[in-house]
Chains A and B, each alone.
Chain A
Amino acid sequence: MRRSQMIKMRESKVLTRRVGKYKSLDLEAYKALGGLQSLKRALDIGPESVIEEIKRSGLIGRGGAGFPTGLKWASAAKIQSANGGPKYFICNADEGELGTFKDKVLLDGDPWAVLEGILIAAYTIGAKQTYIYIKGEYEKTAKLWEKLVSKAKKAALLGEKILGSTFSVNLQVIRGRGPYIAGEEFALISSLETRRAMSRLKPPYPTEEGLFGKPTVVNNVETIANVPVILADGAEEYRKLGVEDDPGTRLFSLSGDVKKPGVYELEIGSGTLKELINKLGQGTKNSKPIKAVQPGGGTSALLGRDNLGCKLTSKAIRKAGSSLGTAGVIVYEEGKSAVEIIKGLLQFYGAESCGRCAPCRIGVVRMKEIVDTLSHKEATPDDLVQLREIGKACIAASTCGMGQAFPLPVLSALELFPEDFEAAIQKV
Protein backbone atom coordinates (compact mmCIF):
# COMPACT_ATOMS: atom_id res chain seq x y z
CA MET A 1 0.00 0.00 0.00
CA ARG A 2 1.24 3.47 -0.82
CA ARG A 3 1.99 5.65 2.15
CA SER A 4 -0.58 8.22 1.10
CA GLN A 5 -3.23 5.54 1.19
CA MET A 6 -2.10 4.28 4.53
CA ILE A 7 -2.49 7.63 6.23
CA LYS A 8 -5.61 8.51 4.31
CA MET A 9 -8.09 7.64 7.02
CA ARG A 10 -6.95 9.50 10.06
CA GLU A 11 -8.83 11.33 12.73
CA SER A 12 -8.69 15.12 12.53
CA LYS A 13 -9.10 16.36 16.05
CA VAL A 14 -10.52 19.82 15.83
CA LEU A 15 -13.64 19.86 17.98
CA THR A 16 -12.29 17.04 20.12
CA ARG A 17 -8.74 18.41 20.45
CA ARG A 18 -9.20 19.26 24.12
CA VAL A 19 -11.25 16.19 25.06
CA GLY A 20 -9.38 14.31 27.78
CA LYS A 21 -6.84 17.12 28.11
CA TYR A 22 -8.42 18.80 31.12
CA LYS A 23 -10.82 18.04 33.96
CA SER A 24 -14.26 19.08 32.78
CA LEU A 25 -14.89 21.73 35.42
CA ASP A 26 -11.43 23.28 35.30
CA LEU A 27 -11.91 26.68 33.69
CA GLU A 28 -8.29 27.71 34.20
CA ALA A 29 -7.10 24.67 32.30
CA TYR A 30 -9.54 25.47 29.51
CA LYS A 31 -8.15 28.99 29.30
CA ALA A 32 -4.60 27.66 29.28
CA LEU A 33 -5.55 25.51 26.29
CA GLY A 34 -6.63 28.59 24.36
CA GLY A 35 -10.21 28.82 25.61
CA LEU A 36 -12.32 32.01 25.73
CA GLN A 37 -10.24 33.78 23.06
CA SER A 38 -13.11 33.44 20.59
CA LEU A 39 -15.65 34.91 22.98
CA LYS A 40 -13.34 37.84 23.59
CA ARG A 41 -12.93 38.32 19.87
CA ALA A 42 -16.72 38.13 19.31
CA LEU A 43 -17.34 40.80 21.98
CA ASP A 44 -14.66 42.84 20.27
CA ILE A 45 -15.83 42.68 16.65
CA GLY A 46 -19.59 42.85 17.34
CA PRO A 47 -22.60 40.75 16.29
CA GLU A 48 -22.67 41.73 12.62
CA SER A 49 -19.06 40.73 12.03
CA VAL A 50 -19.62 37.45 13.89
CA ILE A 51 -22.55 36.63 11.59
CA GLU A 52 -20.44 37.49 8.55
CA GLU A 53 -17.65 35.25 9.80
CA ILE A 54 -20.01 32.32 10.45
CA LYS A 55 -21.66 32.80 7.06
CA ARG A 56 -18.26 32.87 5.31
CA SER A 57 -17.21 29.73 7.15
CA GLY A 58 -19.98 27.80 5.40
CA LEU A 59 -20.89 26.01 8.65
CA ILE A 60 -23.87 23.70 8.23
CA GLY A 61 -25.92 22.53 11.23
CA ARG A 62 -24.87 19.14 12.57
CA GLY A 63 -28.20 18.14 14.10
CA GLY A 64 -29.47 16.27 11.08
CA ALA A 65 -31.40 18.77 8.96
CA GLY A 66 -28.25 20.49 7.66
CA PHE A 67 -29.33 24.14 7.67
CA PRO A 68 -26.63 26.85 7.26
CA THR A 69 -25.92 28.24 10.74
CA GLY A 70 -24.99 31.74 9.57
CA LEU A 71 -28.37 32.19 7.88
CA LYS A 72 -30.24 31.01 10.95
CA TRP A 73 -28.38 33.47 13.16
CA ALA A 74 -28.78 36.32 10.70
CA SER A 75 -32.49 35.78 10.52
CA ALA A 76 -32.91 35.77 14.31
CA ALA A 77 -30.54 38.71 14.77
CA LYS A 78 -32.40 41.02 12.45
CA ILE A 79 -35.88 40.30 13.86
CA GLN A 80 -36.87 42.63 16.64
CA SER A 81 -38.91 40.87 19.27
CA ALA A 82 -42.32 42.55 19.59
CA ASN A 83 -42.39 45.35 22.21
CA GLY A 84 -38.69 44.83 22.85
CA GLY A 85 -39.47 41.38 24.24
CA PRO A 86 -36.80 38.73 24.68
CA LYS A 87 -35.13 36.39 22.23
CA TYR A 88 -33.93 32.95 23.15
CA PHE A 89 -31.08 30.66 22.30
CA ILE A 90 -31.37 26.92 22.87
CA CYS A 91 -28.54 24.44 22.62
CA ASN A 92 -30.09 21.14 21.60
CA ALA A 93 -28.34 18.39 23.56
CA ASP A 94 -31.29 15.99 23.39
CA GLU A 95 -29.27 13.60 21.30
CA GLY A 96 -31.96 10.99 20.69
CA GLU A 97 -31.35 9.66 17.20
CA LEU A 98 -30.57 5.97 17.11
CA GLY A 99 -26.87 5.30 16.68
CA THR A 100 -25.88 8.85 17.64
CA PHE A 101 -23.79 9.61 20.72
CA LYS A 102 -21.29 12.23 19.58
CA ASP A 103 -22.63 15.29 21.39
CA LYS A 104 -22.00 13.57 24.70
CA VAL A 105 -18.27 13.52 23.95
CA LEU A 106 -18.25 17.31 23.72
CA LEU A 107 -20.67 17.92 26.59
CA ASP A 108 -18.52 15.83 28.95
CA GLY A 109 -15.08 16.29 27.44
CA ASP A 110 -14.94 19.97 26.47
CA PRO A 111 -18.01 21.60 28.05
CA TRP A 112 -16.41 25.05 28.29
CA ALA A 113 -16.06 25.14 24.50
CA VAL A 114 -19.77 24.36 24.17
CA LEU A 115 -20.53 27.10 26.70
CA GLU A 116 -18.28 29.50 24.81
CA GLY A 117 -20.23 28.72 21.64
CA ILE A 118 -23.54 29.28 23.44
CA LEU A 119 -22.36 32.65 24.75
CA ILE A 120 -21.19 33.77 21.32
CA ALA A 121 -24.50 32.69 19.79
CA ALA A 122 -26.56 34.48 22.45
CA TYR A 123 -24.49 37.64 22.10
CA THR A 124 -24.78 37.57 18.32
CA ILE A 125 -28.55 37.13 18.07
CA GLY A 126 -29.29 39.29 21.14
CA ALA A 127 -30.60 36.61 23.51
CA LYS A 128 -30.41 37.16 27.25
CA GLN A 129 -31.89 33.83 28.21
CA THR A 130 -30.39 30.61 26.93
CA TYR A 131 -31.08 26.94 27.59
CA ILE A 132 -29.23 23.73 27.16
CA TYR A 133 -31.69 20.85 26.83
CA ILE A 134 -29.85 17.66 27.77
CA LYS A 135 -31.13 14.19 26.97
CA GLY A 136 -32.79 12.60 30.03
CA GLU A 137 -30.52 9.57 29.96
CA TYR A 138 -27.43 11.78 30.24
CA GLU A 139 -28.01 12.33 33.95
CA LYS A 140 -24.35 12.71 34.90
CA THR A 141 -23.81 15.13 32.04
CA ALA A 142 -26.70 17.28 33.27
CA LYS A 143 -25.23 17.31 36.78
CA LEU A 144 -21.85 18.32 35.39
CA TRP A 145 -23.50 21.18 33.54
CA GLU A 146 -25.30 22.39 36.68
CA LYS A 147 -21.90 22.68 38.34
CA LEU A 148 -20.43 24.30 35.26
CA VAL A 149 -23.13 26.98 35.36
CA SER A 150 -22.39 27.89 38.99
CA LYS A 151 -18.71 28.06 38.17
CA ALA A 152 -19.36 30.19 35.11
CA LYS A 153 -21.43 32.62 37.19
CA LYS A 154 -18.55 33.09 39.60
CA ALA A 155 -16.16 33.68 36.71
CA ALA A 156 -18.40 36.38 35.13
CA LEU A 157 -19.16 34.15 32.16
CA LEU A 158 -22.86 34.04 33.02
CA GLY A 159 -24.96 36.76 34.61
CA GLU A 160 -24.43 40.49 34.23
CA LYS A 161 -21.65 42.12 32.19
CA ILE A 162 -19.89 39.10 30.74
CA LEU A 163 -16.10 39.56 30.89
CA GLY A 164 -16.61 43.22 31.69
CA SER A 165 -18.67 43.95 28.57
CA THR A 166 -22.25 45.28 28.43
CA PHE A 167 -23.54 41.84 27.44
CA SER A 168 -25.60 39.90 30.02
CA VAL A 169 -26.91 36.39 29.68
CA ASN A 170 -28.23 33.45 31.69
CA LEU A 171 -28.18 29.74 31.01
CA GLN A 172 -30.65 27.17 32.29
CA VAL A 173 -29.74 23.51 32.25
CA ILE A 174 -32.78 21.41 31.39
CA ARG A 175 -32.94 17.64 31.59
CA GLY A 176 -35.14 15.99 28.99
CA ARG A 177 -37.85 13.72 30.35
CA GLY A 178 -37.99 10.95 27.83
CA PRO A 179 -39.53 11.53 24.44
CA TYR A 180 -37.35 11.02 21.39
CA ILE A 181 -39.25 13.67 19.46
CA ALA A 182 -38.17 16.37 21.93
CA GLY A 183 -34.96 16.55 19.90
CA GLU A 184 -36.94 18.03 17.03
CA GLU A 185 -36.67 21.81 17.05
CA PHE A 186 -40.32 22.71 17.63
CA ALA A 187 -41.02 19.72 19.89
CA LEU A 188 -38.12 20.89 22.04
CA ILE A 189 -39.57 24.39 22.16
CA SER A 190 -42.99 22.98 23.15
CA SER A 191 -41.33 21.00 25.88
CA LEU A 192 -39.66 24.11 27.30
CA GLU A 193 -43.09 25.78 27.28
CA THR A 194 -44.31 22.91 29.51
CA ARG A 195 -46.40 21.38 26.75
CA ARG A 196 -46.38 17.96 25.17
CA ALA A 197 -43.29 17.56 23.00
CA MET A 198 -44.86 17.89 19.55
CA SER A 199 -43.67 19.34 16.28
CA ARG A 200 -45.46 22.22 14.56
CA LEU A 201 -46.06 23.27 11.01
CA LYS A 202 -43.44 25.61 9.55
CA PRO A 203 -43.43 28.51 8.74
CA PRO A 204 -43.31 30.46 10.94
CA TYR A 205 -39.83 29.21 11.81
CA PRO A 206 -38.46 29.35 15.36
CA THR A 207 -36.28 32.30 14.37
CA GLU A 208 -39.53 34.22 13.79
CA GLU A 209 -41.89 32.70 16.39
CA GLY A 210 -40.14 30.26 18.64
CA LEU A 211 -40.11 29.79 22.39
CA PHE A 212 -43.11 31.62 23.95
CA GLY A 213 -43.69 33.11 20.50
CA LYS A 214 -40.35 34.94 20.55
CA PRO A 215 -37.46 34.73 18.06
CA THR A 216 -35.44 31.65 18.97
CA VAL A 217 -32.39 29.91 17.60
CA VAL A 218 -31.96 26.20 18.25
CA ASN A 219 -28.51 24.77 17.47
CA ASN A 220 -27.10 21.31 17.96
CA VAL A 221 -24.16 20.84 20.37
CA GLU A 222 -21.68 19.94 17.65
CA THR A 223 -22.74 22.94 15.57
CA ILE A 224 -22.19 25.27 18.49
CA ALA A 225 -18.80 23.70 19.27
CA ASN A 226 -17.67 24.73 15.78
CA VAL A 227 -18.30 28.40 16.51
CA PRO A 228 -15.29 29.06 18.77
CA VAL A 229 -13.08 27.23 16.27
CA ILE A 230 -14.26 29.44 13.43
CA LEU A 231 -13.78 32.63 15.41
CA ALA A 232 -10.37 31.61 16.70
CA ASP A 233 -8.83 30.76 13.36
CA GLY A 234 -11.04 32.81 11.05
CA ALA A 235 -13.48 31.59 8.41
CA GLU A 236 -10.84 31.27 5.69
CA GLU A 237 -8.65 29.02 7.81
CA TYR A 238 -11.68 26.96 8.81
CA ARG A 239 -12.71 26.45 5.20
CA LYS A 240 -9.42 24.66 4.54
CA LEU A 241 -11.01 21.77 6.40
CA GLY A 242 -13.52 19.57 4.63
CA VAL A 243 -14.93 20.19 1.18
CA GLU A 244 -16.04 23.34 -0.65
CA ASP A 245 -19.79 23.15 0.06
CA ASP A 246 -19.46 21.27 3.36
CA PRO A 247 -16.49 22.61 5.34
CA GLY A 248 -15.13 21.42 8.67
CA THR A 249 -15.08 18.10 10.43
CA ARG A 250 -17.85 15.76 11.54
CA LEU A 251 -18.09 13.58 14.59
CA PHE A 252 -19.06 10.15 13.37
CA SER A 253 -20.76 7.86 15.88
CA LEU A 254 -19.89 4.39 14.69
CA SER A 255 -21.99 1.52 16.03
CA GLY A 256 -23.65 -1.77 15.16
CA ASP A 257 -21.68 -4.79 13.99
CA VAL A 258 -18.18 -3.33 14.23
CA LYS A 259 -15.20 -4.37 16.34
CA LYS A 260 -14.40 -0.90 17.59
CA PRO A 261 -17.48 1.28 17.90
CA GLY A 262 -16.98 4.85 19.06
CA VAL A 263 -16.92 8.49 18.11
CA TYR A 264 -14.42 9.46 15.41
CA GLU A 265 -13.80 13.00 14.23
CA LEU A 266 -13.01 13.18 10.56
CA GLU A 267 -12.45 15.94 8.12
CA ILE A 268 -15.52 15.97 5.89
CA GLY A 269 -14.77 14.05 2.70
CA SER A 270 -11.48 12.64 3.98
CA GLY A 271 -12.50 9.04 3.50
CA THR A 272 -15.21 6.59 2.57
CA LEU A 273 -17.79 4.65 4.54
CA LYS A 274 -15.80 1.50 4.02
CA GLU A 275 -12.59 3.06 5.35
CA LEU A 276 -14.40 4.36 8.42
CA ILE A 277 -15.80 0.90 9.15
CA ASN A 278 -12.71 -1.13 8.29
CA LYS A 279 -9.89 1.11 9.46
CA LEU A 280 -11.21 3.04 12.43
CA GLY A 281 -13.91 0.52 13.32
CA GLN A 282 -11.48 -2.36 12.65
CA GLY A 283 -13.99 -4.21 10.51
CA THR A 284 -17.18 -6.08 11.24
CA LYS A 285 -17.77 -7.75 14.57
CA ASN A 286 -17.65 -11.34 13.29
CA SER A 287 -15.48 -10.49 10.28
CA LYS A 288 -18.40 -11.20 7.95
CA PRO A 289 -18.99 -9.02 4.90
CA ILE A 290 -21.00 -5.83 5.43
CA LYS A 291 -24.63 -6.24 4.45
CA ALA A 292 -25.89 -2.69 4.86
CA VAL A 293 -25.10 0.61 6.55
CA GLN A 294 -27.22 3.46 7.84
CA PRO A 295 -24.91 6.46 7.43
CA GLY A 296 -26.98 9.10 9.22
CA GLY A 297 -28.69 7.55 12.23
CA GLY A 298 -31.69 5.27 12.59
CA THR A 299 -33.96 7.20 10.24
CA SER A 300 -31.54 7.24 7.30
CA ALA A 301 -32.04 4.93 4.32
CA LEU A 302 -29.92 1.79 4.22
CA LEU A 303 -27.01 1.71 1.81
CA GLY A 304 -25.96 -1.63 0.39
CA ARG A 305 -22.53 -3.05 -0.32
CA ASP A 306 -22.34 -1.25 -3.68
CA ASN A 307 -22.25 2.10 -1.96
CA LEU A 308 -19.56 1.45 0.63
CA GLY A 309 -17.04 3.37 -1.45
CA CYS A 310 -19.17 6.45 -0.90
CA LYS A 311 -17.26 9.54 0.35
CA LEU A 312 -18.27 10.84 3.74
CA THR A 313 -19.87 14.07 2.55
CA SER A 314 -23.55 15.04 2.69
CA LYS A 315 -23.62 15.37 -1.07
CA ALA A 316 -22.07 11.98 -1.84
CA ILE A 317 -24.27 10.15 0.65
CA ARG A 318 -27.36 11.91 -0.72
CA LYS A 319 -26.37 10.92 -4.23
CA ALA A 320 -26.08 7.31 -3.09
CA GLY A 321 -29.69 7.48 -1.88
CA SER A 322 -29.39 8.14 1.83
CA SER A 323 -28.48 11.06 4.06
CA LEU A 324 -25.63 11.93 6.39
CA GLY A 325 -28.13 13.19 8.98
CA THR A 326 -26.52 13.07 12.43
CA ALA A 327 -23.54 11.06 11.09
CA GLY A 328 -24.53 8.09 13.23
CA VAL A 329 -23.14 5.24 11.17
CA ILE A 330 -24.86 1.94 11.99
CA VAL A 331 -23.32 -1.15 10.48
CA TYR A 332 -25.12 -4.44 9.77
CA GLU A 333 -23.08 -7.47 8.77
CA GLU A 334 -24.22 -10.42 6.69
CA GLY A 335 -26.33 -13.00 8.44
CA LYS A 336 -29.10 -10.76 9.65
CA SER A 337 -32.30 -10.55 7.60
CA ALA A 338 -33.38 -7.08 6.46
CA VAL A 339 -36.73 -7.91 8.07
CA GLU A 340 -35.05 -8.15 11.48
CA ILE A 341 -33.14 -4.92 10.87
CA ILE A 342 -36.26 -2.87 10.17
CA LYS A 343 -38.21 -4.65 12.89
CA GLY A 344 -35.76 -3.29 15.46
CA LEU A 345 -36.01 0.21 14.02
CA LEU A 346 -39.81 0.18 13.87
CA GLN A 347 -40.01 -1.03 17.45
CA PHE A 348 -38.18 2.10 18.50
CA TYR A 349 -39.97 4.62 16.29
CA GLY A 350 -43.34 2.96 16.91
CA ALA A 351 -43.08 3.88 20.56
CA GLU A 352 -41.95 7.42 19.79
CA SER A 353 -44.46 8.94 17.37
CA CYS A 354 -45.81 12.03 19.15
CA GLY A 355 -49.25 11.41 17.66
CA ARG A 356 -49.71 14.77 16.02
CA CYS A 357 -49.98 13.55 12.43
CA ALA A 358 -52.28 10.65 11.59
CA PRO A 359 -50.02 9.11 8.91
CA CYS A 360 -47.14 8.78 11.36
CA ARG A 361 -49.26 7.95 14.43
CA ILE A 362 -51.18 5.19 12.69
CA GLY A 363 -48.69 4.33 9.96
CA VAL A 364 -45.83 3.43 12.24
CA VAL A 365 -48.04 0.98 14.16
CA ARG A 366 -49.40 -0.65 10.99
CA MET A 367 -45.92 -0.92 9.52
CA LYS A 368 -44.67 -2.55 12.69
CA GLU A 369 -47.59 -5.00 12.62
CA ILE A 370 -46.77 -5.99 9.05
CA VAL A 371 -43.11 -6.46 9.89
CA ASP A 372 -44.13 -8.62 12.88
CA THR A 373 -46.19 -10.87 10.59
CA LEU A 374 -43.20 -11.00 8.24
CA SER A 375 -40.90 -12.02 11.02
CA HIS A 376 -43.35 -14.81 11.97
CA LYS A 377 -43.56 -15.79 8.30
CA GLU A 378 -47.29 -15.12 8.28
CA ALA A 379 -47.34 -12.28 5.76
CA THR A 380 -48.81 -12.28 2.27
CA PRO A 381 -47.41 -10.56 -0.84
CA ASP A 382 -50.15 -7.95 -0.39
CA ASP A 383 -48.60 -7.01 2.96
CA LEU A 384 -45.41 -5.97 1.19
CA VAL A 385 -47.41 -3.65 -1.06
CA GLN A 386 -49.13 -2.21 2.02
CA LEU A 387 -45.81 -1.73 3.82
CA ARG A 388 -44.47 0.31 0.92
CA GLU A 389 -47.65 2.36 0.47
CA ILE A 390 -48.00 3.25 4.15
CA GLY A 391 -44.34 4.25 4.26
CA LYS A 392 -44.77 6.57 1.28
CA ALA A 393 -47.89 8.13 2.83
CA CYS A 394 -46.02 8.84 6.05
CA ILE A 395 -43.20 10.53 4.18
CA ALA A 396 -45.61 12.63 2.14
CA ALA A 397 -47.99 13.74 4.88
CA SER A 398 -46.08 14.10 8.15
CA THR A 399 -45.12 17.45 9.62
CA CYS A 400 -41.74 16.72 11.09
CA GLY A 401 -38.51 14.97 10.27
CA MET A 402 -39.45 11.82 12.14
CA GLY A 403 -42.60 10.97 10.16
CA GLN A 404 -40.87 12.00 6.96
CA ALA A 405 -37.84 9.84 7.64
CA PHE A 406 -38.52 6.71 9.69
CA PRO A 407 -40.03 4.88 6.67
CA LEU A 408 -36.86 5.50 4.64
CA PRO A 409 -34.90 2.51 6.02
CA VAL A 410 -37.97 0.33 5.41
CA LEU A 411 -38.40 1.43 1.80
CA SER A 412 -34.68 1.07 1.13
CA ALA A 413 -34.66 -2.40 2.70
CA LEU A 414 -37.51 -3.47 0.38
CA GLU A 415 -35.51 -2.11 -2.51
CA LEU A 416 -32.12 -3.57 -1.59
CA PHE A 417 -33.07 -6.94 -0.12
CA PRO A 418 -36.25 -8.17 -1.85
CA GLU A 419 -35.08 -11.74 -1.27
CA ASP A 420 -35.24 -11.30 2.52
CA PHE A 421 -38.86 -10.20 2.26
CA GLU A 422 -39.77 -12.93 -0.25
CA ALA A 423 -38.32 -15.48 2.12
CA ALA A 424 -40.47 -14.11 4.92
CA ILE A 425 -43.73 -14.48 3.06
CA GLN A 426 -46.09 -17.27 4.09
CA LYS A 427 -45.74 -20.29 1.86
CA VAL A 428 -49.09 -21.75 0.90
Chain B
Amino acid sequence: MTKFKMQTYQNLIRRSGGVTKENLFSLLGKVQDEFGYVPKEVVRDLASKTGLAEARIYGALTSYGGFKIAPESND
Protein backbone atom coordinates (compact mmCIF):
# COMPACT_ATOMS: atom_id res chain seq x y z
CA MET B 1 0.00 0.00 0.00
CA THR B 2 1.19 3.52 -0.76
CA LYS B 3 0.45 6.92 0.75
CA PHE B 4 -2.25 8.78 -1.15
CA LYS B 5 -1.04 11.14 -3.84
CA MET B 6 -3.31 12.70 -6.43
CA GLN B 7 -0.68 11.92 -9.06
CA THR B 8 -0.66 8.19 -8.25
CA TYR B 9 -4.44 8.18 -8.45
CA GLN B 10 -4.47 9.96 -11.79
CA ASN B 11 -1.96 7.49 -13.20
CA LEU B 12 -4.15 4.67 -12.01
CA ILE B 13 -7.15 6.18 -13.80
CA ARG B 14 -5.11 6.62 -16.96
CA ARG B 15 -3.94 3.00 -16.88
CA SER B 16 -7.58 1.90 -16.51
CA GLY B 17 -8.62 3.83 -19.60
CA GLY B 18 -10.61 6.61 -17.91
CA VAL B 19 -13.71 6.71 -15.74
CA THR B 20 -17.12 5.39 -16.73
CA LYS B 21 -20.09 4.12 -14.75
CA GLU B 22 -19.20 0.69 -16.15
CA ASN B 23 -15.79 0.59 -14.48
CA LEU B 24 -16.47 2.73 -11.39
CA PHE B 25 -16.75 -0.20 -8.99
CA SER B 26 -13.54 -1.67 -10.34
CA LEU B 27 -11.75 1.70 -10.02
CA LEU B 28 -12.86 2.14 -6.44
CA GLY B 29 -11.44 -1.31 -5.77
CA LYS B 30 -8.12 -0.38 -7.34
CA VAL B 31 -7.97 2.80 -5.26
CA GLN B 32 -8.75 0.81 -2.11
CA ASP B 33 -6.02 -1.72 -2.94
CA GLU B 34 -3.50 1.01 -3.75
CA PHE B 35 -3.99 3.30 -0.74
CA GLY B 36 -5.80 1.10 1.76
CA TYR B 37 -8.81 3.43 1.67
CA VAL B 38 -10.79 5.59 -0.73
CA PRO B 39 -9.82 9.23 -0.05
CA LYS B 40 -12.44 11.98 -0.24
CA GLU B 41 -10.54 13.69 -3.06
CA VAL B 42 -11.03 10.53 -5.09
CA VAL B 43 -14.75 10.31 -4.36
CA ARG B 44 -15.14 13.98 -5.35
CA ASP B 45 -13.27 13.42 -8.61
CA LEU B 46 -15.12 10.20 -9.50
CA ALA B 47 -18.47 11.80 -8.68
CA SER B 48 -17.82 14.72 -11.00
CA LYS B 49 -16.53 12.43 -13.77
CA THR B 50 -19.52 10.07 -13.63
CA GLY B 51 -22.20 12.66 -12.81
CA LEU B 52 -23.15 10.72 -9.69
CA ALA B 53 -23.71 12.41 -6.33
CA GLU B 54 -20.87 11.96 -3.85
CA ALA B 55 -23.49 10.67 -1.43
CA ARG B 56 -24.39 7.89 -3.91
CA ILE B 57 -20.78 6.74 -3.96
CA TYR B 58 -20.38 6.99 -0.18
CA GLY B 59 -23.68 5.14 0.26
CA ALA B 60 -22.25 2.23 -1.69
CA LEU B 61 -18.73 2.34 -0.29
CA THR B 62 -19.78 2.30 3.35
CA SER B 63 -22.02 -0.73 2.83
CA TYR B 64 -19.03 -2.95 1.94
CA GLY B 65 -16.74 -4.29 4.63
CA GLY B 66 -13.93 -4.32 2.07
CA PHE B 67 -13.95 -0.57 1.50
CA LYS B 68 -12.60 2.02 3.95
CA ILE B 69 -13.13 5.76 3.65
CA ALA B 70 -10.33 6.75 6.03
CA PRO B 71 -6.82 5.43 6.46
CA GLU B 72 -6.41 2.80 9.19
CA SER B 73 -4.79 4.30 12.23
CA ASN B 74 -1.38 3.03 13.24
CA ASP B 75 -1.93 2.68 16.99
Contacts and interface: CB of A to CB of B under 8 A. Distances in A.
Given A194-B60, A196-B60, A177 B22 contact: no
A350 interface: no
Contacts, number: 47
Interface string B1-27: 000000000000000000001111110
A178 B66 contact: yes
Given A129-B22, A174-B25, A174-B29, A136 B60 contact: no
B22 to A, nearest CB: 6
Interface residues of B, number: 20
A177 B21 contact: no
B66 A194 contact: no
A192 interface: yes
B23 A172 contact: yes
Nearest to B24: A194
Contacts of B66: 136, 175-178
A172 B47 CA distance: 21
B67 interface: yes
A179 interface: yes
B25 A193 contact: yes
A197 interface: yes
Contacts of A177: 29, 32, 64-67
Interface in A145-199: 172-179, 191-197
A173 B23 CA distance: 10
B74 interface: no
Contacts of B60: 194-196
A212 interface: yes
B26 A172 contact: yes
B65 A179 contact: yes
B25 A194 contact: yes
Contacts of A173: 26
Most buried by A among B21, B29, B57, B59: B29
Contacts of B63: 179, 196-197
Contacts of B42: none
Contacts of A191: 25
B64 A197 contact: yes
A176 B28 CA distance: 11
A178 B28 CA distance: 14
A194 B65 contact: no
B63 to A, nearest CB: 4
A198 B6 CA distance: 32
A159 to B, nearest CB: 12
B15 to A, nearest CB: 11
A193 B64 contact: no
B66 to A, nearest CB: 3
A61 B65 CA distance: 29
Interface in A261-311: none
A197 B59 CA distance: 11
A227 to B, nearest CB: 24
Contacts of A176: 66
B12 to A, nearest CB: 13
Contacts of B56: 194-195
Given A177-B64, A177-B66, A195-B60, 13 more contacts: A129-B22, A172-B22, A172-B26, A174-B25, A177-B32, A178-B65, A179-B63, A193-B25, A194-B21, A194-B24, A194-B56, A195-B56, A212-B22
Interface of B: 21-26, 28-29, 32-33, 52, 56-57, 59-60, 63-67
26 contacts: A129-B22, A172-B22, A172-B23, A172-B26, A174-B25, A174-B26, A175-B66, A176-B66, A177-B29, A177-B32, A177-B66, A177-B67, A178-B66, A179-B63, A179-B64, A194-B21, A194-B24, A194-B25, A194-B28, A194-B52, A194-B56, A194-B60, A195-B59, A196-B59, A196-B60, A212-B22
